[in-house]
Amino acid sequence: MTLHATIDRVTDRIRERSAKSRSAYLAKIARAAEEGPRRAHLSCGNQAHAYAAMPDKQDLATTRKPNIGIVTAYNDMLSAHQPYERYPDLIRQAAHAAGATAQVAGGVPAMCDGVTQGRPGMELSLFSRDVIALASGVALTHDTFDAALYLGVCDKIVPGLIIAAGTFGHIPAVFVPAGPMPSGLPNDEKSKVRQQFAIGEVGREALMAAEMASYHAPGTCTFYGTANTNQMLMEFMGLHLPGSSFVNPNTPLRDALTSAAVQRAAAITRLGNDYLPAGEVLDERAFVNGIVGLMATGGSTNLVLHLPAMARAAGVILDLEDFHDLSETVPLMARVYPNGLADVNHFHAAGGLGYMIGQLLDAGLLHQDVRTIAGGGLDQYAHEPRLKDGRIEWVEGARETLNDKILRPAADPFAPTGGLKQLSGNLGRGVIKVSAVAPERHVIEAPVRVFSDQEEVKAAFKRGEFTEDVIVVVRFQGPRANGMPELHSLTPTLAVLQDRGLRVALVTDGRMSGASGKVPAAIHISPEAADGGPLARLRDGDLVRLDAVGGTLSCLAAGFEDRQPAEHDPSHSAEGLGRELFAAFRRHVGPATEGAAVVV
C-alpha cells in the first residue's frame, strides 16, 4: 500500500526540521561505534573489577562473547515492575544459551503516579523521567556492554529509558516488557465508586474495596493509561519483540518472550553480522509510527510530552503540529477504558496490536520500511507469538477483529480521527484529547474560576460553589512552577459537576492522567503561568472559549492582554518529600511544547 500523503508529508517535515541535529547525532554514534567492542579498551585492572562477581568471568576476559547490560526498573512496591524480580536470572540463563553473558548494569527509580496522585510526591513525577535517563547513563558508562536490555513499563520509566537508549545510540537496545495484570473489577465500576465517594454516597471502606479489587495482582494496571500506552509505543516503534506487550506476567509465554529478547540482543551486537545500534532504530519514521499508534489506540496525553523529549535524544525534533496533523489523519480503532469499557486484556484478546498494525500498514498509515529489533520491517509486527514445544514461533495475527465493540478496522473505525487536538490562542498553546469526550462538549464557553492548587478546587466543590457552567483554571502547575504534576484527582469532582448537567472544562499548564476521560481538559498550556504566561492574567469571571473543533483557546475579556500577570509563590512546592532536591530541575526545565525536559 502506498504511504498516505499526510504521513509522508509530516515525516518529511520532521526530517527537514531535524536535518542538522540528526546528522550530528548519527556522526556521534558512528564515532562511538568505530572504536569497536568497548571492553577491548579497558585495562586488565578495569576488566577484573567489571567481572569479579561473574561465574564465567574468564570467558569474558579472553573471548569475544557478547556481554549484555541489564538496566532494570525493578522494585516490589509497584505491581507493574514486581515481575522483573525474576528477570536477571532468566536473562543470564538465556544469555548463556545464546553464547553470551549478561550483567545487571544498574537500577533506575520507578515511582507510581497511582500512589502519588493528589500528593506532594506527584511534583517529582515528571522529573523522575530525567533521573531515570541519568541513572541509566551511569549504568552504561562502565563501557563493558555490547547490547542493553531495558526493563521498564510505567509512565516516566520507558521515556527515561528511551532517552538513555538514544544517548547511548551506538549500543543495540531491546526493551523487555512485564505485561498487564489479569482483569479485575471492571474499570467503569471502579470509576463509579470513586464518584460516589466524591459526593459522600459511600465511605472510604467501599472505596478501598473497589480499588483493591481493581489493582489486585502483579503486572501493569489494566486500563489504557500511560503505562500501557508506553508498551504499545515500544511495539509500534520496533523496540519490543512482536506481540509481546500485553502477555500477562509469570506465564510460560511471557518467560519465553523474555528469553527470545535476550537472544535478539546477543545477535545484534557489533561482534556479529547483524549490528543494529539503537540510534538507527530511533529515526523520524519510528517516531511517526509511534504517534500513529498513539492516535489509533486513543493513548495517553502524557506521551505528547514524552515523545518530543525521547526524540530529541536521537536528534529528531517533534512539534505539536506533527501530533495534530497525524491525529487528523489516523482513525481511532480501539475503545479501551477510559475510552470504552474494555481493558487491555480484552483488547489483546480481540486482536490487539498485531491486528492494528496490519490494518494500518494496509491503509498506508505506517512506515513499513523501518529497522526493528525483530530483524525486519514493521510487517513482522502484524504477527503474534505462539509457544510450541517450549519455543516461540510467530504466526500471522488476526486479520479480522474478534470483538468490534473493542477493536475495529481502519476502514470502519470508532472515529475518523485520533481525537488529539492542538489548541492555540491568546491563552497560549496546548492540547486536548477528545476521544472520550461527547461531541456536544467539544466547545465550551463559560466564565472561569481560577485556582493555583487542585486542593482549592476540591474545597470549593465541597462548599457547593459550582452551581453554573464553569471552566476551572488550575495554573502554576507547569514544570517550572512545581514539576508539572498530574491533576487526575480532579477527574471525579469535575465528572460529578458534568453529570449534574453543567457545562464544565479544565484549563491548566499542568498534566492530566493518561486515564482522564469524559471532561474536556485543555492541558500542557505553554508558556506556563510561572513564566508569565497568559494563564497568569486570568481573573475569576473572565469569559473563556475552549474550542476543540476549531483548535482555539481564548479569553474573551476586554483588556485581557494588557493586564499584569499574577505572581507565582513557589514556597508551596519548594520543600518536603525531596522537592528541595529538584530546585535546579525547576530552574532549568524546558517548556512543555518541547517535552518539559532537563537533560535533552
Strand bridging mode 420-425 / 428-433: antiparallel
**Interior angle at CA 41, CA 37 and CA 47, nearest 5:** 95
Backbone angles phi, psi at 254, to 5 degrees: -60, -45
Mean pLDDT of the chain: 92
In DSSP notation, 400-441 reads S-S-TTTB--TTS-SBSS--EEEEEETTEEEEEE-TTS-GGG
Q: What is the pLDDT of residue 397?
A: 93
pLDDT at 62: 63
pLDDT tens-digit map of 70-83: 999 999 999 999 99
Residue 183 has pLDDT above 90, yes or no: no
- Over residues 58-62, the mean pLDDT reads 61
What does the pLDDT average to over 428-449? 94
Indicate whether 559 pLDDT > 70.
Answer: yes
Mean of the pLDDT values across residues 17-35? 95
**For position 38, what pLDDT does the model report?**
65
For the segment 81-107, the average pLDDT, to the nearest whole number, is: 96
Provide the pLDDT confidence category of residue 390 given band limits of 50, 70 and 90: confident
Confidence category of residue 206, pLDDT binned at 50, 70, 90: confident
**154 appears as a binding residue in the annotation:** yes
pLDDT of residue 58: 59
Contact 541, 565 (CB under 8 A): no
pLDDT in tens, 442-485: 999 999 999 999 999 999 999 999 999 999 999 999 999 999 99
pLDDT of residue 501: 95
Residue 423, pLDDT > 90, answer yes
Integer Cα distance of 165 and 151 in angstroms: 12
Q: Is the peptide bond before 527 cis (omega within 30 degrees of 0)?
A: yes
**Stretch 374-381: mean pLDDT:** 95
Asked whether the predicted pLDDT for residue 63 surpasses 60, the reply is: yes
d(CA 65, CA 50): 15
- Note the pLDDT of residue 239: 98
Question: In the structure grid, which three cell numbers stand for residue 165, read together?
Answer: 537508549
Which of the residue ranges 208-212, 524-528, 576-580 would you say has the lowest mean pLDDT? 208-212
Q: Has residue 338 got a pLDDT over 70?
A: yes
Angle separating helix axes 204-214 and 187-198, nearest 10 degrees: 160
Winning range, highest mean pLDDT, from 35-44, 126-135, 571-580: 126-135
Task: Please give the Cα distance from 143 to 177 (Å, whole number).
Answer: 25
| Overall average pLDDT of the 162-177 stretch | 98
Q: Please check the confidence at residue 198 and state whether its pLDDT lies above 70.
A: no
**Is residue 44 a known part of a binding site?**
no
Q: How is 139-151 classified by DSSP, letter by letter?
A: HHTT---SEEEEE
**Residue 102, pLDDT above cutoff 60:** yes
Note the pLDDT of residue 340: 84
* The pLDDT value given to residue 53: 80
pLDDT for 41 beyond 90: no
| Average pLDDT, integer, range 252-270 | 96
Bigger pLDDT: 578 vs 506: 506
Q: Which fold has domain 420-594?
A: Glucose Oxidase; domain 1 (3.50.30)
Domain boundaries, the chain: 5-182+217-396, 184-216, 420-594
pLDDT band at 500 (very low <50, low <70, confident <90, very high): very high
**pLDDT tens figures, 296-331:** 999 999 999 999 999 999 999 999 999 999 999 999
- In this predicted model, which residue has the larger pLDDT, 250 or 56? 250
Cα end-to-end distance, the chain, whole Å: 36
Cα–Cα distances in angstroms (integers) from residue 186 to residues 231, 232, 428, in the given order: 21, 21, 38
CA distances from 275 to 219, 281, 372, 430 (A): 32, 11, 12, 40
